[in-house]
Amino acid sequence: MYLVTAGEMQEMDRQTIESYGLPGRVLMENAGLGATRILLKKFKALINKKVGIVAGRGNNGGDGFVMARYLSQKGVSVTVYLLAEKSVVKGDAAENLNILAPLNIPVIEMPDQKSFSKHKTSMLHQDIWIDAILGTGLKSDVKGYFRKIIEFINSIEKPVFAVDIPSGLNADTGRPCGTCIQAHTTATFAFAKTGHLIFPGATYTGNLEIVDIGIPNYIIENVGPRQFLLTSELVRDALQKRSPEAHKGNAGHLLIIAGSTGKTGAAAMTAISAMRSGAGLVTLGIPKSLNPVLESQVLEVMTSPLPEAEGGILDESSFNEIMDLIAGKKCLAVGPGLGTASGTKNLVIRIIQECGLPIIIDADGLNNLIDNINILKNLKHQIILTPHPGEMSRLIGRPVSFIQNDRINCARNFAKKFKVHVVLKGARTVIAHPDGKVFINPTGNPGMASGGMGDVLTGIIAGFVAQGYSPESATHAGVYLHGAAADTLQKNMSPFGFLATEVMSAIPGQIQHFIND
């Protein structure tokens, strides 16, 4: 499913009008009619309700004027509150505004604070609000009068139906521009915008509905959106059914380098999760002093005790044995619970440079890369990084707030610059690929905010890569199924309190759902 930026949507509109010859007035009509249908479906018995439309002077307001006309024709009591003088409304919006007078639809000009104060009391009596103030092109903070209007609409706690996007929401980043309408439902046009799906935008958007306004397919292909929503259909297509003659030898052999004193759980969960996702064989390379502990935790996984430094950590003394272990393996995962001692850091750098296998780098594998990130640029083997925002912050040397304010572009820019695949974890995990394509994952829930969830994800993705999945398919399926398993636990068990090991155990059931569907 395509997700578009504000710029991509504007370009589609332009090409549809100029090269396809579909007038902007028709696009506005389609938008307003489609939004009205959704409003009537979401809010029953509107005939007995008072609907207020708060509209700006631009095309977003124009969509609201079309809605006012259709609602009036349905017998709904509707009042338009125009945040400008009628004389300044231009183009297609003005044409739709002018139609309202002959239909006796009230349009109250409210261009400033004084006029707002005059009509504030009457506005309190509206039962439902339609937000048609600001569209998807907003980039700067909402200030002054418009800010007061948005804050007033939010304060009266009546249901709000947003036209295209909640006013004040950045369509690309999902961040509120100073303030933002809190919508119950949003009807957006042609495609969902990335800001609708990324948090906190998803919270402001409410229920999202998409209206087809008639953008031709060839124009969509011309513009070529590079953002996508991960869907069950994509995951179903990615997952591979096995031959009846399959055996462990052709289901892939994964090597994991992980663990240190006090962090054996991370290594164990990564290894078992890889098997839960279908890897035929898993070998866990660990400091030799930890072998007795881990052998009892991972009965189906082979362990390989490695030379260690003082304190039960791996360092360069284990490099040659690790390179020997790599022979015959299909994939390497490195990092969970590994530690960040200087010797461990040197070991990780050498492994990444000389391994030659597809590598999934997580946790301390990422932390050990911080001062040597440029080694990723010249590698010929596929690399998948799975940072949470804190790890991403350390990798690029910017605050976590910088990451969270623009998750999509942070992940995309890193993936393109270093030619790697990036899984930026968190609510609505972002998956970015070296070609600039970005996928947003809709599964998962706040109950996943507990230790070990990242180790499980690393194991699932690595298990898929070991089975021969491409990095794209492995990350898409792994991230989606990981979140879906947690969603099932949340539904059947509790909003939170379920464990990473329980998510891990639920993965085969999720795979079965897709394979057998």
Q: Which residues of the chain have pLDDT under 50?
A: none
pLDDT, position 70? 98
In sequence order, what are the residues at sequence separation of 6 or more whose Cβ sits closer than 8 angstroms to the Cβ of residue 337? 258, 259, 260, 263, 264, 265, 266, 267, 363, 364, 455
Q: In this structure, which topology does domain 2-225 adopt according to CATH?
A: Rossmann fold (3.40.50)
Take residue 406 and report the two structure tokens written for it: 């623009």
pLDDT, position 517? 62
3-state SS of the chain: helix, strand, coil percent to 5?
50, 15, 35
pLDDT, position 515? 84
pLDDT, position 150? 98
Give tens-digit pLDDT for 90-121. Answer: 999 999 999 999 999 999 999 999 999 999 99
Q: How far, in Å, CA of 479 to CA of 458, rounded? A: 9
Q: 504: part of which helix (H) or strand (E)? A: helix 500-516
pLDDT-above-90 percentage for the chain = 97
**Sequence ranges of the domains in the chain:** 2-225, 246-516
Average pLDDT, the chain: 96
- At 263, phi and psi to the nearest 5? -130, 40
- Quick count: other Cβ atoms within 10 Å of Cβ 207? 12
Q: In this structure, which topology does domain 246-516 adopt according to CATH?
A: UDP-N-acetylmuramoyl-L-alanine:D-glutamate ligase (3.40.1190)
